Amino acid sequence: MDLVRTAAGRREGILVADFNQDYSCIALGTQSGYSITNCEPWGQVHAKELGPTCLVSMLFSTSLVAVVVRSPAGGEKRLHILNTKRNSTICELTFPADIRAVRMNRRRLVVVLATALYVYDISNMKLLHTIETGMNTTGLCVLAPASDECYMAYAAHEAGDSHVVVYNLHTLAMVHVIPAHRSRVACLAFNAAGTVLATASEKGTVIRLFSVPSGRLLHQFRRGTYPARIFRMSFNVAGTILCVTSDSDTVHLFRVPAWTTPCDPNQALAQKKRRAWRSTSMVQTLGTYLPSSVTEMWEPTRDFAWLKLPRPGLRAIAVVSNTLPVVLVLTYEGILYTYTLDLELGGECQLAQRHSLLSASSASP
């Protein structure tokens, strides 16, 4: 959960806003409590007044919600696990420091502190393991949505901030340390299947895709020439598009190569041979002899589609809808913008609709 607050968001009383794992709902935390809004069809489905709610995390579209309410003294150390359908509290947990994020899939819940990760069995909220991480003030930690591939990724501070740890939450063991970038890792994202991990550094010009759990470099994208702070990366549910938002006013959409998805080894080999024979360039010819990680490092690809935010400097999260060919852009001002996306031709996405989360029953184009 991204806990950065903007001045505009504070004026509206918004403390946090985010999508659930399949982008079907939006959770909003405000000075008075939290709300859950359905994206399609649009409308608020739940709201509760709890006081200043600085973190809201959903488990897909289930009734389980994790919230952190700021104490009168300003602390953010107490986690509430709620059942929205029964309007009841499942459990409450208190931690030694402020909670930076909560990550969930259908098997595990991970509480992120600045220096530690607490891993729980989500079925009974039993503490399974505690991982010391070093300083992680931004709460950088991601879980694969798929419980079959129950992986977690976080920055490996003991190996250098440019490395990423891939951790198996079933076996509670580290499976790989990936040397992802030359500078500090700033953003991470799993695809829905938990088989591909996207990484970006503080520089923000190059985004890399790694195979999970092997850690093999699969592909890389060129976001731009000038550095930018990347706020969020998100795969669409099918894993074919990666959406990237940053402190620039452009949201980039990259087409994920089909061969980055694990498939039958014979099929993968045949695809590599076909690509090599069709090419006349030196890089692609050498690609039949060199490891694919080396080849792809020579050929970062650009976005196939993009959109411009309504105004520069707008803090936002962008995702590709699971049900419609549109991009959903959620801002920390409590506005959801919908842009049309041409999946075949790409190009610039056009603004089609605007919704206010503060009055979720209304919508305007």
Is the predicted pLDDT of residue 269 greater than 50, yes or no? no
Q: How confident is the model at residue 6 (pLDDT cuts 50, 70, 90)?
A: very low
Which region holds residue 74: left if phi is over 0, alpha if psi is between -120 and 50, else beta? left
**pLDDT value of residue 315:** 87
Q: Is the pLDDT of residue 267 over 50?
A: no
If one counts every other C-beta atom within 10 angstroms of the C-beta of residue 87, the result is 10
Q: What pLDDT sits at residue 262? A: 53
At residue 159, the pLDDT reads 57
Residue of 221, 222, 235 lying closest to 188 (CA atoms): 235
Q: What is the dihedral of CA 337, 340, 345, 346, to 10 degrees?
A: 0
pLDDT value of residue 33: 97
pLDDT tens, position by position, 275-289: 443 333 433 433 443
Q: Establish if 1 belongs to a structural domain.
A: no
Domain that holds residue 60: 7-364
Mean pLDDT, the chain, whole residue set: 87
Confidence band of 272 (pLDDT split at 50, 70, 90): very low
**How far apart are the two ends of the chain, measured CA to CA in Å?**
28
Count: domains in the chain: 1
pTM reported for the whole predicted model: 0.86
**pLDDT exceeds 50 at position 104:** yes
* Number of residues written out for the chain: 365
User: Are 348 and 305 spatial neighbours (Cβ–Cβ below 8 Å)?
Assistant: yes
Asked, for residue 273, whether it belongs to a domain, the answer is: yes
- 2 domain residue, yes or no: no
Give per-residue pLDDT as tens, 126-171: 999 999 998 999 999 999 999 888 999 999 876 567 899 999 999 9
Which whole number is the average pLDDT over 101-108? 97
pLDDT for the residue 160? 62
pLDDT tens digits, one per residue of 66-99: 999 999 999 999 999 999 999 999 999 999 999 9
- Cα angle, residue 306 at apex, residues 303 and 309 outer, rounded to 5°: 145
Q: Give 230-281 as a DSSP string.
A: EEEEEE-TTSSEEEEEESSSEEEEEEPPGGGS---HHHHHHHHHHHHHH--S
Which CATH number does the domain housing residue 150 bear?
A: 2.130.10.10
What percent of the chain has a predicted confidence (pLDDT) above 70? 83
